Structures are given as C-alpha cells and as structure tokens.
C-alpha cells in the first residue's frame, strides 16, 4: 500500500479521545498511514428542490491496521461515506483514496479491479453465493481475480472463523452467524488493504453478532488487517479502536478507545438535538433512506 500524500485533516470535529486534544482535528496519527481516506467528500443525491446533501465536505482517514467504526443518526450519511470511500459510489466533489490511489482517476474497469483486489466487503445481508460451497465462497474473490489462493492464509482464516467442518456445506445450510463468518473470511481471503463492513451484525442475534465482531477485531489485532465498519449499535462500535461520528453529512466527533456507554452517551446527544430540529436541516425532512435499519 502506498502512503497518502500528506497529513490528513478532518473538518474539525470535537475530540472526545481524552488525550488532551493531541489528536483533535487529525484523522490519523502523525506517523500513521491511511488505508482509505476521503478529502472534502461531498455527495448530493438528486437536484433542485429534491437535492439531498448526504455528505457535506467530510475529510477523514481510516488508519492502516486499525478498526474504525462509523456512527451517527439515521440518515447522517454513514452508508454514503462508506460506499464512496470503497468505490461503490462516486462523490459529487472531493476525493476518495485507497492508499495512494484516487478513485475518481480510475475508469470503470480499473475501479472494478481495485475493488476486487484491494478491498473486502461485508454486508448486512451476507451476500454469499447460494450455489457455491463455503470453501468456494471464501476463495471467490481470489478466483475472480485469477489469482492463486495463499493456502496457508486461507487455512488460517478458516481456522479463525471456526468453519473447518462446514467447508463443503452451502450457505443455506448455515445459520446467519455462520454465514456472516464465511462472509468475513471471504472479505479477508485476498489480504485486501481494507475491509468495509456495512452493518455486519444488523441481521444477527447478539451472540452471533458478538462472534462476528470478535472476528473483525482479531483480523485487525492478530492479522494486521484494516477494518472500517458502519454500525448503529454502540456495543458493536465499542469493538473498534476509534469511532467517527457523522451528523447531517458532516464529521462532528471522534472517540478513541470507545466503550458502549460512552458511545451511547454521545449518540443520545444527537437524539436531543433531533428533538430540537425534528425536520432535519438539510432536506426539509423528506426521508429518502435506502432501507437501512432504524436508529
Ligand atoms: N440513492 C439515494 N437517493 C436519494 N437520497 C439518498 C439516496 N441514498 C441516500 N440518500 C439520502 O442521503 C442521506 C444519507 O443517507 P445514508 O443512507 O448514507 O445515511 P445513513 O446514516 O447510512 O442512514 P441509516 O443509518 O438510516 O442507514 C439520507 O437523507 C438519505 O435519505
């Protein structure tokens, strides 16, 4: 992975890291590299009266080898940020980078290759291929890229996700939690620069969700991977090294070494603010959500 061009700046969120403001305003440590980042990211859906400013000048980096959670009220732009940072959607203005590669500079084919080779995805709905076995699902991105799987790495992954006995099963024969563990193994199989997870525990009970979060945490701490996760759940966010908070399409806060209690308290502050401004400041209150879970 190449290093980013320079130090990353946020749009000036408050610092709740409890580090005396040392890190306030910077999205990565001074000596850190960002596996992914956006600079001045703005995304407007629609036009004229129907325009929705889903992201409004967000600058944030997701440091390599760290687990970052993105939180914020419903409609605050979390999924849009993740999708634009991961090259699944394009920004209206600003720039998104994976390592040193600016996504806006890539053509469709190059972008597809970059997503395939350098990014892993975990979605709320697992998105496994039902006709393939667990083993085939795990190596699918590597096979699509025409690469040879690193057997040792894949075996280590299978071991970590605890599905060694199930390798020849189809997704339909697994529980939701097991399917999501397969999805995590698939996301990590090609040793991507960064894994983006969008509400990975949204469809799971708390025990299965906890197992998936432990797995994502181990991928970072034991395997040196980078994970960026969108979540509504303060308990899930507490598994991360850092939480970045969005509100109304802006980066408003960040918190290192989060606990569920501190994250919950921070989210409650958004609820209070909502009651003051129930219609929302950006789009006249029209709710054009894409079907994410309720906050
Ligand atoms: N395809 C779209 N067309 C129009 N507006 C959209 C579209 N996708 C998202 N939006 C709007 O952009 C804003 C941000 O949406 P986004 O889904 O990124 O928020 P979120 O924080 O992930 O929400 P949730 O937590 O409810 O999933 C919302 O006002 C939403 O209605």
Q: What confidence tens digit (pLDDT) does each residue in 104-119 have?
A: 999 999 999 999 989 9
E strand or H helix that includes residue 105: none
* pLDDT higher than 70, residue 279: no
Q: State the distance from the centre of ligand 1 to the C-alpha of 81, rounded, in angstroms.
A: 10
pLDDT tens digits, one per residue of 63-73: 999 999 999 99
- Please give the span between the terminal C-alpha atoms of the chain, in angstroms, as a whole number: 35
* pLDDT higher than 60, residue 140: yes
Q: State the distance from the centre of ligand 1 to the C-alpha of 80, rounded, in angstroms.
A: 7
Q: State the distance from the centre of ligand 1 to the C-alpha of 291, rounded, in angstroms.
A: 8
Which ipTM value was assigned to this complex? 0.98
E strand or H helix that includes residue 219: helix 206-221
Distance CA 98, CA 18 (A): 29
Q: State the distance from the centre of ligand 1 to the C-alpha of 219, rounded, in angstroms.
A: 29
- The C-alpha angle with vertex 102 and arms to 75 and 220, in degrees rounded to 5, equals 70
Mean pLDDT of 58-85: 96
Q: State the distance from the centre of ligand 1 to the C-alpha of 55, rounded, in angstroms.
A: 9
Q: Is the CB of 79 under 6 A from ligand 1?
A: yes
Ligand 1 atom showing the smallest separation from residue 288 Cα: 31
Describe the strand order of the beta sheet including 227-230 as a list of residue ranges.
14-15, 250-256, 242-247, 67-71, 227-230, 194-198, 119-123
> Which residue has a Cα nearest atom 24 of ligand 1?
74
Per-residue model confidence (pLDDT) at position 13: 42
* pLDDT higher than 50, residue 246: yes
Distance CA 191, CA 116 (A): 11
Least confident of 17-31, 32-46, 98-112, 178-192: 17-31
Strands 34-45 and 52-63: antiparallel
Q: Is the CB of 78 under 6 A from ligand 1?
A: yes
Q: State the distance from the centre of ligand 1 to the C-alpha of 45, rounded, in angstroms.
A: 9
> Which residue has a Cα nearest atom 28 of ligand 1?
75
Q: State the distance from the centre of ligand 1 to the C-alpha of 239, rounded, in angstroms.
A: 24
Mean pLDDT of 182-193: 93
Return all residues near 234 (Cβ < 8 A) that are at least 6 apart. Answer: 71, 260, 261, 263, 264, 267
> Which residue has a Cα nearest atom 23 of ligand 1?
75
Per-residue model confidence (pLDDT) at position 277: 52
Q: How many CB atoms lie within 10 A of CB 215?
A: 22
| Confidence class for position 213, pLDDT limits 50, 70, 90 | very high
Per-residue model confidence (pLDDT) at position 292: 34
Q: Is the CB of 139 under 6 A from ligand 1?
A: no
Between 233 and 15, where is the model more confident? 233
Between 17 and 205, where is the model more confident? 205
* pLDDT higher than 60, residue 192: yes
Per-residue model confidence (pLDDT) at position 146: 87
Q: Is the CB of 290 under 6 A from ligand 1?
A: yes
Per-residue model confidence (pLDDT) at position 291: 34
Quick one: 65-89+106-276 is in which CATH superfamily? P-loop containing nucleotide triphosphate hydrolases (3.40.50.300)
Q: Is the CB of 221 under 6 A from ligand 1?
A: no
> Which residues pair with residue 97 across a beta bridge?
37, 102
């Amino acid at each position: 992975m190449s290093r980013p061009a320079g130090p990353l700046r946020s749009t000036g969120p408050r610092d709740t890291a409890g580090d005396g403001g040392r890190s306030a305003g910077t999205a990565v440590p001074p000596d850190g590299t960002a596996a992914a980042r956006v600079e001045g990211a703005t995304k407007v859906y629609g036009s004229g009266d129907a325009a929705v400013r889903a992201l409004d000048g967000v600058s944030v980096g997701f440091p390599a080898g760290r687990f970052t959670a993105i939180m914020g009220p419903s409609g605050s732009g979390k999924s849009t940020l993740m999708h634009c940072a991961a090259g699944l959607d394009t920004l209206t203005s600003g720039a998104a980078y994976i390592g040193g590669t600016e996504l806006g500079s890539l053509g469709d084919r190059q972008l597809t290759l970059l997503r395939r080779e350098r990014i892993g995805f975990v979605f709320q709905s697992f998105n496994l291929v039902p006709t393939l076995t667990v083993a085939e699902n795990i190596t699918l991105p590597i096979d699509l890229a025409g690469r040879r799987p690193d057997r040792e790495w894949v075996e280590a992954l299978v071991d970590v996700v605890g599905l060694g006995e199930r390798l020849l099963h189809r997704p339909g024969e697994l529980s939701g939690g097991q399917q999501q563990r397969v999805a995590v193994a698939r996301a990590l199989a090609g040793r991507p620069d960064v894994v983006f997870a969008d509400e990975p525990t949204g469809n799971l009970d708390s025990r299965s969700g906890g197992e998936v979060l432990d797995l994502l945490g181990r991928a970072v701490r034991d395997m040196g991977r980078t994970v960026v996760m969108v979540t509504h759940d303060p308990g899930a966010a507490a598994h991360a090294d850092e939480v970045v908070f969005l509100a109304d399409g802006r980066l408003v806060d960040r918190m290192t070494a989060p606990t569920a209690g501190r994250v919950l308290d921070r989210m409650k502050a958004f609820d209070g603010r909502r009651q003051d401004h129930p219609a929302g400041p950006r789009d006249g209150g029209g709710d054009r959500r894409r079907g994410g879970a309720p906050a």
